[in-house]
A and B are shown apart, each in its own frame.
Chain A
Amino acid sequence: MAKEKMLAVKDLAISFNTYAGELHAVRGIEFDLYKGETLAIVGESGSGKSVSTKAIMSLLPKKSTTIHSGEILFQDQDLLKCTEKEMQHIRGKDIAMIFQDPMTSLNPTMTIGKQIMEPLIIHQNMSKENAQARALKLLELVGIPMPEKRIKQYPHQFSGGMRQRVMIAIALACNPRVLIADEPTTALDVTIQAQIIELMKELQVKMDTSIIFITHDLGVVASVADRVAVMYAGEIVEVGTVDEIFYHPQHPYTWGLLASMPTLEIGNQDLYAIPGSPPNLLHVPNGDAFASRNQYALAIDFEEEPPMFQVSPTHYAATWLLHPDAPDVTPPQEILNRWAKYRKNEVNVYD
């Protein structure tokens, strides 16, 4: 893995001012993104994945958002200190984003050609003719047949998968250094999902882009990511390479996520479900936020938040179980059995 850092997020904490009170959506997260790699961020919905990445793009609502602490370093500048104007030069050019719902993320009243040309015209000062020529190339690149005809069409004339390809073309128009994909395949059905992931992997190699891939689906992670960060209640609870997360997970939450992942063999029957529900981010409990759902919770979990323990140079997890004084626990047999099956199948489940 190349070790040139593209993006470094440090101690980022974000809250929203809501009618119900202060909602702590992101509570001190840290991660790095290296050149050319794909970092997957996984976690249940509401765990703060979108908020963290919107913060990178400075797309959070200005009025209700408070950034309590943190740095987001990109090319030696702290994005959190950038003005709106400086961010406009970075958005869409150096850092681009694709979103979950391709059905609503494109402007319904503008041809897709114009929508692809827009970033080229604003960031690269391209003439209309050049931008159009480049847009045609991009459409071809993302695998849209008959680009000359398609470029003049409106989003409603495209299927969901095709629209997501258009979104990818828009995002990649200016050869961004970083691509943030926020659940780009969640709204698509499985075959299309696999195609889009294939396309992203292919383009990543071609363009040497770093990708942050957000998903709540571990199955997708196995096929796209180099590294994985697991988020829970606004914190990263475990981070490591794909192999480390899938084969040597340390955090009970990661265990639960892995155990609840459907595979082709097991299907959706009899899936393990993590008991309980995530904590209310308006009143974050003391200690480990996962403690109340954690069958392995220790007394200290309810009092003090666990720090990140290092497991390997690339693998960290925030659980007291890694403390030298902690008792030895193994995940329950049922979960181990499932793992045994995943391990046999994982590689060919989604590939």
Chain B
Amino acid sequence: MRKYLLKRLLIAIPVLIGVTICSFIIVNLAPGDPVDMYVNPDATLDQIEMTRAALGLDQPMYVRYFKWLGELFQGNLGFSFATREPVMDLLADRMGATLLLMGVSLVVGYLIAIPLGILSAVKQNTWIDYLTTGGSFLGVSIPSFFLGLGLVYIFSLQLGWLPTGGMATLGGDSSLVDQIKHMILPVIVLSASICGNMIRYVRSSMLEVLKEDYIRTAKAKGLKSMMVVIKHGLRNSLIPIITVIGMDIPKLIGGAVVTEQIFQWPGLGQLTISSISSRDYATLMAINLLSAIAVLGANMLADILYSAADSRIHYD
């Protein structure tokens, strides 16, 4: 297992370098010149060239890439074009907000989805099942901007119960209650799709498992139906569910661009949008790299979880 993970880590390095090459090319080929963003409209040609040189954009793309890579190996992500801050600080600043929002949304989503998915499978083809499956489709397919704006309209504008956005009331007491109030709406929006997606996987996985011979054995032992499902069904239906968790976790980092934008949540998603519109190549590259690391890390975590859930799964 340890050897396997080490091997995976070593393979991850060239993969990550490949990802950075691709994203470097894409970011640089995107229309728009960053220099335009950072000079006065009436700047002279000289001034423009100076800014270009200051941003390091006067060199050919491959030179810039290798410079960037060299800095990266020294643990340096460069400086943001937009704010001149070190990109590292910028990310660290935003990461906490995103991790908090996504972490809570994942946990809430799963806590609702897993029992509902199981219930739906056990009560297959009853109104409970239809209601749950219908709800999960709604959760997956409703666009987050629509749900987000709808919730803001009802709960913030009409009822005035909850704030429209941000992480805390400006100049407020920044109490826990205040923070929670700010989180409720974005968490609902994000967990709706996480939960809807998860319900469908849990349900179908559980339905498969319930057909297995060992479930019949468990019934033949005289176990109560609920115990059959929980003691014998759940663990075995976990494997495909772990895959979904592995796909959900990178969202922790990538953030939910749209949701963060709607609720002005100061996380990575919002940073992504602002970096794109200000052609802040350095920050964009760092965010891409971070997302790629998150995907690879989540895959490895899923592998570890597989072998924990099922002793038949071994890596060497």
- Chain A residues with CB under 8 Å of chain B are 57, 59, 84, 87-93, 96-97, 99, 101, 104-110, 118-119, 122-123, 154, 156, 167, 170
Instruction: Give, as a whole number of angstroms, the nearest-CB distance from A113 to chain B.
Output: 13
**Chain B residues closer than 8 Å to A105, beta-carbon distance:** 213-214, 216-217
Interface residues in B280-316 by Cβ distance below 8 A to A read 309-312
Instruction: Give, as a whole number of angstroms, the nearest-CB distance from A138 to chain B.
Output: 14
23 contacts between A and B (CB under 8 A): A84-B225, A88-B223, A90-B222, A91-B219, A91-B222, A92-B222, A96-B220, A96-B221, A99-B216, A104-B212, A104-B213, A104-B214, A105-B216, A106-B217, A108-B312, A109-B236, A109-B309, A109-B311, A110-B231, A110-B235, A154-B311, A167-B217, A170-B221
Instruction: Give, as a whole number of angstroms, the nearest-CB distance from B7 to chain A.
Output: 24
Asked whether any CB of chain A lies closer than 8 Å to the CB of B94, the reply is no
Asked whether any CB of chain A lies closer than 8 Å to the CB of B112, the reply is no
Number of B residues whose C-beta is below 8 Å from A? 21
Q: Which one of B213, B220, B232 lies within 8 Å of A91 (CB-CB)?
A: B220
**Chain B residues closer than 8 Å to A167, beta-carbon distance:** 217
Given contacts A88-B222, A91-B219, A91-B222, 13 further A-B contacts (CB under 8 A): A59-B219, A91-B220, A92-B222, A93-B222, A99-B220, A104-B212, A104-B213, A105-B214, A105-B216, A106-B217, A107-B217, A108-B310, A119-B222
Q: Which one of B219, B222, B225, B232 lies within 8 Å of A110 (CB-CB)?
A: B232
Complex Cα gap A119–B311 (Å): 23
Which A-chain residue is minimally distant from B217 (CB atoms)?
A105
Complex Cα gap A109–B310 (Å): 6
Asked whether any CB of chain A lies closer than 8 Å to the CB of B97, the reply is no
Which B-chain residue is minimally distant from A87 (CB atoms)?
B222
Complex Cα gap A89–B212 (Å): 22
Q: Please tell me if the beta carbons of B212 and A119 are within 8 angstroms of each other in the complex.
A: no
Instruction: Give, as a whole number of angstroms, the nearest-CB distance from A86 to chain B.
Output: 11
Mark each residue of chain B from 215 to 240: 1 if its CB lies under 8 Å from any CB of chain A, else 0.
01111111111000001100110000
Complex Cα gap A97–B219 (Å): 10
Complex Cα gap A105–B220 (Å): 11
Complex Cα gap A118–B221 (Å): 8
Q: Please tell me if the beta carbons of B220 and A97 are within 8 angstroms of each other in the complex.
A: yes
Q: Which one of A88, A99, A109, A122 lies within 8 Å of B217 (CB-CB)?
A: A99
**Chain A residues closer than 8 Å to B231, beta-carbon distance:** 110, 118
Complex Cα gap A93–B220 (Å): 9
Q: Please tell me if the beta carbons of B220 and A57 are within 8 angstroms of each other in the complex.
A: yes
A154-B311, A156-B311 given; A106·B214 CB < 8 A: yes
Complex Cα gap A15–B247 (Å): 45
Complex Cα gap A106–B217 (Å): 7
Q: Please tell me if the beta carbons of A59 and B220 are within 8 angstroms of each other in the complex.
A: yes
**Chain B residues closer than 8 Å to A90, beta-carbon distance:** 222
Instruction: Give, as a whole number of angstroms, the nearest-CB distance from A61 to chain B.
Output: 11
Q: Which 7 A-B pairs have the closest CB atoms?
A: A92-B222, A91-B222, A92-B221, A104-B213, A107-B214, A97-B220, A105-B213
Which A-chain residue is minimally distant from B234 (CB atoms)?
A109
Q: Please tell me if the beta carbons of B224 and A107 are within 8 angstroms of each other in the complex.
A: no
**Chain B residues closer than 8 Å to A91, beta-carbon distance:** 219-222
**Chain B residues closer than 8 Å to A93, beta-carbon distance:** 222
Q: Please tell me if the beta carbons of B235 and A109 are within 8 angstroms of each other in the complex.
A: yes
Instruction: Give, as a whole number of angstroms, the nearest-CB distance from B305 to chain A.
Output: 13
**Chain A residues closer than 8 Å to B225, beta-carbon distance:** 84
**Chain B residues closer than 8 Å to A84, beta-carbon distance:** 225
Q: Please tell me if the beta carbons of A154 and B312 are within 8 angstroms of each other in the complex.
A: yes
**Chain A residues closer than 8 Å to B213, beta-carbon distance:** 99, 101, 104-105
Instruction: Give, as a whole number of angstroms, the nearest-CB distance from A90 to chain B.
Output: 7
**Chain B residues closer than 8 Å to A57, beta-carbon distance:** 220
Complex Cα gap A108–B216 (Å): 13
**Chain B residues closer than 8 Å to A92, beta-carbon distance:** 220-223
Interface residues in B245-284 by Cβ distance below 8 A to A read none
Instruction: Give, as a whole number of angstroms, the nearest-CB distance from A153 to chain B.
Output: 9
Instruction: Give, as a whole number of angstroms, the nearest-CB distance from B25 to chain A.
Output: 46
Complex Cα gap A106–B311 (Å): 14
Q: Please tell me if the beta carbons of B222 and A59 are within 8 angstroms of each other in the complex.
A: no
Complex Cα gap A108–B217 (Å): 12
Which B-chain residue is minimally distant from A93 (CB atoms)?
B222
**Chain A residues closer than 8 Å to B214, beta-carbon distance:** 104-108
Instruction: Give, as a whole number of angstroms, the nearest-CB distance from B312 to chain A.
Output: 5
Q: Which one of B220, B232, B309 lies within 8 Å of A107 (CB-CB)?
A: B232
Mark each residue of chain B from 43 to 78: 1 if its CB lies under 8 Å from any CB of chain A, else 0.
000000000000000000000000000000000000
Which A-chain residue is minimally distant from B239 (CB atoms)?
A109
Instruction: Give, as a whole number of angstroms, the nearest-CB distance from B209 to chain A.
Output: 10
Complex Cα gap A288–B143 (Å): 64
Complex Cα gap A91–B220 (Å): 6
**Chain B residues closer than 8 Å to A59, beta-carbon distance:** 216, 219-220
Complex Cα gap A88–B221 (Å): 8
Complex Cα gap A87–B309 (Å): 32
Q: Please tell me if the beta carbons of A156 and B222 are within 8 angstroms of each other in the complex.
A: no
